[in-house]
Amino acid sequence: MEGMIIKTSSFNLTDEEFLAFCLDNKNLRIERDSQSNIIIMSPVKDESSGLNSIVHGQLFIWNMKVKGGLTFESSAGFTLSNNAVRSPDVSWIEKTKFETAKREQKNNKGFLNIVPDFVVEIKSESDSLKELKEKMHEYLDCGVMLGYLIIPEKEKVLIYQSNREVIEKKFSEKIIADNVVTGFELDLSSWKEMI
């Protein structure tokens, strides 16, 4: 993701201060990397935002049927195990795991310290593919079990899983998850007609 990076080596925001900074700038897309640098990302174009809605909508409908967890869109922030605060475009967390984390961190003044089980990143025109691939590996290193990197201009999805090779699928193929979000079907075959 290409964006402005604010190096914080001369000052270090606490989790509370970072949350306050995000709330004071709620119209911006903000993340924090593992070195505590603040990343301010540019807004996405209509096409990327529309694709995000399609993916989240399909995951939400699947989750309503199985009632196994909670879905989140890009405005949710999670503090990962490496101290980065990330906001995946779409994410899912198993219900018991989420409830346990909320209960254990009820006095937490920052973003919830939890690693989503499943994440989706959608490449926009302003994103660097190299940086997004690095971000997907960061997710896996922190405990994400399944991740999809969607590349609209090439109409392909890269599937990331712990200890497995990255699998590439085309938009013309229905992608059916066989673990983590078992049975979730991602269908992007007619995505341009839906936006």
Task: Report the alpha-carbon distance of residue 65 to residue 136 in Å, rounded.
Answer: 27
The pLDDT score that the predictor gives to residue 86 is 95
What value does the mean pLDDT take over residues 70-81? 93
Q: Tell me: pLDDT of 33 over 50.
A: yes
What percent of the chain lies above the pLDDT cut of 70? Answer: 90
Task: Report the alpha-carbon distance of residue 116 to residue 99 in Å, rounded.
Answer: 13
Q: Tell me: pLDDT of 9 over 60.
A: no
Confirm if 125 and 48 have CB atoms less than 8 A apart: yes
pLDDT tens digits along 93-127: 999 999 999 999 887 777 889 999 999 999 988 88
Neighbours of 1 (CB within 10 A): 18
Q: Tell me: pLDDT of 1 over 50.
A: no
Confidence band (pLDDT; 50, 70, 90) for 5?
A: low
pTM equals 0.89
Task: Report the alpha-carbon distance of residue 25 to residue 117 in Å, rounded.
Answer: 28
pLDDT tens digits along 155-183: 999 999 988 999 999 999 999 999 999 99
Q: In whole angstroms, how far apart are CA 184 and each of 107, 116, 126? A: 34, 16, 29
Euclidean distance between the first and final Cα of the chain, in Å? Answer: 22
